[in-house]
Amino acid sequence: MARERYIKLLLMACASLSFLAILLIFIFILRESMPALTKVGFGNLFTSTDWNPDKGSFGILAFLNGTILTTLGGLIIGAPLGVGTAIFLDQVAPKKMATVIRRGIELLAGIPSVVIGWFGLIILVPFIARITNSSGYGIAAASVVLAVMVLPTITALSVETLRSLPIELKEASLAMGATRWQSIRTVLLPAAREGILVAVILGMGRAIGETMAVQMVIGNSRQFTLSLFKPTATLTSRLVTDMGEAPPGVFRSSLFAMALVLLIFAMLLIFSVRMITRKRKA
Amino acid sequence: MIGDGNGNKMRVKNLNMYYGDFKALEDISLNFPSQHITALIGPSGCGKSTLVRCLNRMNDLIEGSHMEGEITLDDENINKSSYDVISLRRRVGMVFQRPNPFPKSIYENVAYGPRLGGIKDKEKLDFIVEDSLKKSALWDEVKKILKESGQKLSGGQQQRLCIARVMAVKPEVILFDEPCSAIDPISTQKIEDLMAELKKNFTMVIVTHNMQQAARVSDYTAFMLVQEQGEPGRIIEFGDTNTMFTNPSDKRTENYITGRFG
């Protein structure tokens, strides 16, 4: 009996420690970003595109823009590809072929991001440079790299969702004289909508947080740009570029403000997943 | 054999059916007379569901399955790869064991088939939906809630919705694969009444493990059996339902319908 109690206590300690660690990170980031929020000012921080710490300018809009555009770009390429792959694997491919491709995609999930970034750097960037006559660095390159990185998440979760649909649904539509494609489009995809949405949102989480691979191909410039082919930066890539050199003070605090934004993004995504899955259960 | 020659909507001749190397059905020959109900009975695993799924080629979905022999619909062999299964399934509709409405509104469930067929006109669709729901005896219960999800209905209502969904494409044959095994007795009776009513216009086949149901609704009955574990299912006896239940010619049929096994 005593042993039971010790184990229970031990497990409780583990759980409390994890929870405490997360809470502390949150509080720490919040506290550290306070100077920036108060001295630079909320408005200035988020609406200025001028990031020039030496001259006292701390606008992060350029990086916020970079993060949003690369994430959207990655999803615009990656989500249809992932969902399409999932449909192919679950509905079209013969079983053996589906297994081989699934294993391949799982493997893709295990490739360290620096390797994918490196591929981007030595193959993708020169390729984009050649066809667009630019430096090749920028949102386009980062989007493609991110698409590769969100692909395993979106594919795996979408396959799970499609697999969990009752076989009766598919049979019902085919028995009505639907073609395979009609059945997928009019019955299976609508029935899997929430699950696929969750897959895309979790992929989005991965894209927003990705640092290394993006930093290698985006060009790391401070300029605000809507062009797909001009060097810019994302919140994460700027963070990792500047954090080594930022002295304590407003500069460093601004970096923490960026971290805070990332954290809030992540929380919003998790919250929306919760909302979607709750609605599905109700 | 009963109904040979004219008056048969569908015929099965010397059918063998395989799942990979496993032979599931052997030498099945059977007729489905027009505007009558034919019941397939027999113990679990005797191949009656497999047989009914040959008739609209639903077994095609199973990797490695194949059929030998002839299945005709209006004297045309449907068991050849060149035959258009899409049009076959619009002519031979199916109601499944578990009610399986789509996660769509009641209206959209019924309009599904006509929409696939290219009907877009709202008035036409409205008419088909109402007509089909009336024919499946569900209209009065759902006419005020057509926009609500079909999956919110009770099991029995869902099954009638599935019948309406099939009816909306105006099939010639309707296959029922144990349509009442998942629903309550009152709903079961409604569906049996409905089948009797639909007989005027449709040829129907019902798979059932419920012998009373076969006796109540069908005109002809086929008794199927797997002799030994691992052997294919065969037809033991086929005939007029009354004769079959009062005076079966095969000892095994008698044993089954008197409840000695199965």
| Residue B52 is assigned to a structural domain of this protein | yes
- The 10s digit of each residue's pLDDT in A130-185 is 999 999 999 999 999 999 999 999 999 999 999 999 999 999 999 999 999 999 99
pLDDT number for residue B259: 80
The answer to whether the CB atoms of B93 and A175 lie below 8 A apart is: yes
Q: Can you list the positions of beta strands (E) in B44-138?
A: 65-73, 76-77, 92-95
Smallest Cα distance from A178 to chain B, Å: 7
Compute φ and ψ for A72, nearest 5 degrees.
-60, -45
Closest residue, chain A, to B89 (C-alpha): A177
| Residue B3 is assigned to a structural domain of this protein | no
Backbone angle region of B259, left / alpha / beta, with phi > 0 → left and psi within -120 to 50 → alpha:
left
| Residue B112 is assigned to a structural domain of this protein | no
- The 10s digit of each residue's pLDDT in B47-60 is 999 999 999 999 98
Smallest Cα distance from B196 to chain A, Å: 22
**Model confidence band, residue A281 (pLDDT cutoffs 50, 70, 90):** low
Confidence check: pLDDT of B153 > 90 = yes
Confidence check: pLDDT of A86 > 70 = yes
Confidence check: pLDDT of B1 > 80 = no
| Residue A54 is assigned to a structural domain of this protein | no
Smallest Cα distance from A186 to chain B, Å: 9
Q: Does A79 lie in the same domain as A40?
A: no
Residues of A in Cβ contact (< 8 Å) with B94 = 175
Helix (H) or strand (E) holding B41: strand B37-41
Smallest Cα distance from A97 to chain B, Å: 13
- The 10s digit of each residue's pLDDT in A96-113 is 999 999 999 888 888 999
Spatial CB neighbours of B2, under 8 Å, sequence gap ≥ 6: B31, B33, B220, B238, B239, B240
Confidence check: pLDDT of B2 > 60 = no
pLDDT number for residue B210: 87
Q: Does A218 lie in the same domain as A158?
A: yes
Confidence check: pLDDT of B4 > 50 = no
Tokens of B51: 């047989």
| Residue B134 is assigned to a structural domain of this protein | no
Per the structure, the complete domain to which residue A39 belongs is given by: 2-47
Tokens of B153: 């209905």
Share of chain A above pLDDT 70, in %: 99
Pick from A96, A167, A176 the residue to mutate for testing the B interface (most B CBs within 10 Å). Answer: A176
| Residue A53 is assigned to a structural domain of this protein | no
| Residue A56 is assigned to a structural domain of this protein | no
The answer to whether the CB atoms of B61 and A171 lie below 8 A apart is: yes
pLDDT number for residue A245: 86
Look up the ipTM and state it. Answer: 0.89
Confidence check: pLDDT of B172 > 90 = yes
| Residue A189 is assigned to a structural domain of this protein | yes
Share of chain B above pLDDT 90, in %: 77
**Model confidence band, residue B262 (pLDDT cutoffs 50, 70, 90):** low
Per the structure, the complete domain to which residue B243 belongs is given by: 8-97+172-257
CATH number at residue B207: 3.40.50.300
| Residue A32 is assigned to a structural domain of this protein | yes
| Mean pLDDT on B87-100 | 94
Give CA separation, A147 vs A206, A209, B4, B62, in Å: 10, 13, 63, 34
| Mean pLDDT on A116-127 | 96
DSSP H helices in B101-182: 106-116, 122-135, 139-142, 155-167
Number of structural domains, chain B? 1
**Model confidence band, residue B120 (pLDDT cutoffs 50, 70, 90):** very high
What's the rounded Cα separation, in Å, for the pair A33 and B240?
A: 86
Residues of A in Cβ contact (< 8 Å) with B104 = 190
| Residue B159 is assigned to a structural domain of this protein | no
| Mean pLDDT on A231-250 | 91
Residues of A in Cβ contact (< 8 Å) with B101 = 172
- The 10s digit of each residue's pLDDT in B227-258 is 888 899 999 999 999 999 999 989 999 999 88
CATH number at residue A220: 1.10.3720.10
Q: Does A68 lie in the same domain as A135?
A: yes
